[in-house]
């Protein structure tokens, strides 16, 4: 099923049809995505604290992972990371 583009969304972004939340993933808005350098990550979870969405998950060991279905690419995680383990890259 093809997802509607931003021009097909209702004015104001209001979705009035019930049961359509799965069609509108917030990650679809993203133009950049976070990439983690696991060697630098200390596991402090500052990225998780500051993330406005439930997009950061605890990974293996100290590192975290990103749920790109929810990540909007705001870059707050990269800005708040004290060891600069997260960089934002263009979405392909």
The 10s digit of each residue's pLDDT in 3-29 is 777 777 766 666 666 666 666 666 667
How many C-beta atoms surround the C-beta of residue 71 within 10 A? 22
Quick one: which of 37, 38, 8 has its CA closest to 20? 8
Number of domains in the chain: 1
In a domain, 54, yes or no: yes
Q: Which residue has the higher pLDDT, 49 or 91?
A: 49
Q: Residues 53-74: what's their mean pLDDT?
A: 87
pLDDT tens digits for range 30-60: 889 999 999 999 999 999 999 998 899 987 7
Residue 8 located in a structural domain: no
CB 72 within 8 A of CB 26: yes
* Residue 72 is assigned to a structural domain of this protein: yes
Domain contains 12 = no
The whole-angstrom separation of Cα 56 and Cα 87 is 14
**CATH code of 76's domain:** 3.30.70.20
Who has greater pLDDT, 87 or 91? Answer: 87
Start-to-end CA distance of the chain, whole Å, equals: 21
Where in the sequence is the domain holding 57, given as residue range(s)? Answer: 24-90
Domain-embedded: residue 2? no
**Does 84 fall in a domain?**
yes
């Amino acid at each position: 099923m093809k997802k509607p583009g931003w021009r097909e969304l209702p004015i104001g972004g209001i979705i009035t049809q019930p049961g359509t939340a799965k069609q509108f993933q917030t990650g679809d808005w993203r133009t950049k995505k976070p990439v983690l350098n696991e060697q630098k990550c200390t596991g402090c979870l500052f990225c998780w604290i500051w993330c406005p969405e439930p997009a950061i998950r605890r990974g293996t060991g100290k590192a975290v992972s990103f749920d790109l279905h929810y990540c909007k690419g705001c870059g707050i995680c990269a800005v708040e990371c004290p060891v600069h383990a997260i960089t934002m890259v263009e979405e392909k």
